[in-house]
Structure 1
Amino acid sequence: ICGAISDQYINVITVCQGASQNNIIIGVKNSDSDSAVRSLYKTFILQ
């Protein structure tokens, strides 16, 4: 996940994983949020 985001030169500010390990929260700047979502979508959905 962090690799997909950092490939777009977006800084990951925080990472939080829930106790059930079924969800992950990634914190990025507001100005980078659209690019981060696109990067994750491209990496994990369109593969």
Structure 2
Amino acid sequence: MVGGKVDWKKITPREISTLTEKMFDSAKVPLESRNNYYRALNQYLYR
């Protein structure tokens, strides 16, 4: 969505994960970098 607002309360965790992967794919983010991102995210969320 360009220029719009997202109501994050209506977005499911699966949809967020899918969007994240699509953005990583578009940016050609290497697997190792993705793994580092998810590791840091999980540490932040579940500390």
The interval holding the TM-score normalised by the smaller chain is: 0.3 to 0.5
The structure carrying a bigger helix percent of its residues is 2
The normalised TM-score by structure 1 is: 0.41
